[in-house]
Amino acid sequence: MQAVVLIGGMGSRLGDRVKDCPKPLLPVAGRPFVEHVLLNLRRFSFDDIVFLAGYRASVVQSLYGPESAFARQSGARIRVIVERAPLGTAGALAAAAQALAPRFLLLNGDSFFDINYLDLCRDVTLGDSSATGQIALRRVPDASRYGLIDLDGETVAAFREKPTTPMPGLINAGAYWLDRSIVSAITRWPSSLEQDVFPQLARQRLLIGRVYDGFFIDIGIPADLERADEVLSDQLRRPAVFFDRDGTLNVDAGYTHTIDAFRWLDGVPAMIKRLNDRGIFVFVVTNQAGVARGFYDESAVIELHRWMNEDLRRIGAHIDAFRYCPHHPNGIVPAYSRACDCRKPGSRMIEELLEQWTVRRERSLMVGDTPTDMAAGEAAGLATRLVSLGGTAAAIEEYLATFDDD
């Protein structure tokens, strides 16, 4: 999937801070601000990332261009398209038309909206036609820094100017799921998506507004830049649910390793999406002794896990990471026939995820259908929940209820 990131503005309200780099590359919480955005995109499996750069574009190329260390480590295809003169947000998008996928996520590089991107990226129709775009909206107590948006049901009815006095309202949060045909609505440049193109599409009733309540911050003014530096690290630490796989997420058919043999348990995909929508990490930690026993190889495990996420994306859901243990002390394949500390009840798979992801261990949970799952979770310092066949979704409902007062 493709994500396009607007990163070309100068950010003049930040003064000397942006003398040497674009606003989205200012340091926030230990790294350039836009890198938090990029890492979140990779979490949701966006693997084709296009920067639309302008001011100090050479800095963007150096840090995030296709030859950069970040690009190599991320595994994503990253391109930087540089505008030759200031074109505005709409003009920059039109100039990059040849690089756009048929449908793409567009993000403002100077804001962070902590939502389930895959929910925003579900295609919705308006009557007999598809919407040109979907805009992520946020209700804020004071919209005086932003323009307001009016909804008619889910359809964007109007864009309004900034209110002159503090008042609550819906604002554009800088995340959009767009059809490439939007470039045909960009007839001049410099021009602005927010001020020129989106209001025109709203008058044609071709935009959908999706309201989310996730953490939102932009760094357009000094006070918010300083606030982002103070709070973003804590916001990015999330609870996690660690799931066993066979018998917990899917029917245990005995060494399940093919797509044809895989069957989700009732309610599980919707349950995973609920966790995604609440900003909770979803991990799978699974013993796959069938590799050591010679029933299938590691590529079969990897392919099935890839397909699981592909299937979940249809409903706007995903699993953040999979870990599997291919070993067994009584296996017949020499490379895998050994005792190890990753096989549950060992906790190494869980510990690796805790080290690599920003997890709130104290609010996290291990869910499985066997005592070995419980032992692994307990060894990693997690709360645990033993479920019987078909009980996973109900267990997660109870877990989510513990967050209702947060």
110 is catalytic: no
What's the rounded Cα separation, in Å, for the pair 87 and 179? 20
Q: Please check whether residue 406 lies inside any domain of the structure.
A: no
User: Is there a single domain that holds both residue 189 and residue 253?
Assistant: no
C-alpha to C-alpha distance for 328 and 324, rounded to whole angstroms: 12
- Catalytic one among 110, 179, 218, 246? 246
* Domain shared by 185 and 209, yes or no: yes
CB 256 within 8 A of CB 248: no
318 and 365 in a single domain? The answer is: yes
Q: Which of 80-84, 124-128, 138-142, 296-300 has the lowest mean pLDDT?
A: 124-128
Q: Which of 218, 244, 320, 369 is catalytic?
A: 244
What's the pLDDT at 163? 86
Let me know if residue 258 belongs to a domain: yes
- 184, 219, 235 — which closes off a domain? 235
Q: What are phi and psi of 267, to 5 degrees?
A: 85, -5
Q: How confident is the model at residue 266 (pLDDT cuts 50, 70, 90)?
A: very high
The reply to whether 53 falls in a domain is yes
Query: Which pLDDT value is given to residue 340?
Result: 96
Do 217 and 252 belong together in one domain? no
Examine the domain organization and report whether 255 and 224 are in the same domain. no
Could you say which of 201, 235, 269 is where a domain stops? Answer: 235
Q: Is residue 343 part of a domain?
A: yes
Same domain, 299 and 217: no
- What is the domain-level CATH number for residue 301? 3.40.50.1000
Is the same domain home to 264 and 293?
A: yes
* Shared domain check, 342 and 221: no
Of residues 388, 355, 371, 231, the one with CA closest to residue 283: 355
Structure confidence at residue 71 (pLDDT): 92
Contact 51, 60 (CB under 8 A): yes
Residues 258 and 307 in one domain: yes
Tell me if residue 21 falls in helix, strand or coil.
coil
Asked if residue 57 is part of any domain, the answer here is yes
Active-site residue 246, yes or no? yes
pLDDT at 406 (0 to 100): 62
Residues 215 and 256 in one domain: no
**CATH number for position 176:** 3.90.550.10
Query: Where are the extended beta strands (E) located within 288-401?
Result: 321-325, 365-368, 383-386
Residues making up the chain, counted from first to last: 406
Q: What pLDDT is recorded for position 125?
A: 55
**Is residue 376 situated within a structural domain?**
yes
pLDDT class for 285, splitting at 50, 70, 90? very high
pLDDT at position 129, please?
Answer: 58
Q: State whether 213 and 300 are in the same domain.
A: no
pLDDT for 255 beyond 90: yes
Average pLDDT, rounded, for the chain: 94
CB atoms within 10 A of CB 174: 22
Number of domains in the chain: 2
Residues 20, 62 contacting (CB under 8 angstroms)? no
pLDDT band, very low/low/confident/very high, at 123 (cuts 50, 70, 90)? confident
Examine the pLDDT at 350 and tell me if it is beyond 70: yes
Are 36 and 24 in contact, with CB atoms under 8 Å apart? no
CA dihedral 281, 282, 285, 290 (to 10 degrees): -150
Q: Is residue 183 located within the same domain as residue 37?
A: yes
Pull the structure tokens for residue 281.
Answer: 């990490």
Provide the CB-side half-sphere exposure for 99 (13 A, CA): 22
Domain residues for the domain of 186 are 2-235
Phi, psi (deg, nearest 5) at residue 99:
-95, -5
Single pTM value for the model = 0.93
- Over residues 231-247, the mean pLDDT reads 96
Given this model, what pLDDT does residue 60 score? 94
Mean pLDDT of 269-297: 98
Distance between CA atoms of residues 315 and 256, nearest Å: 23
215, 235, 255: which is the final residue of a domain? Answer: 235
- Could you give the percent of the chain with pLDDT greater than 70? 98
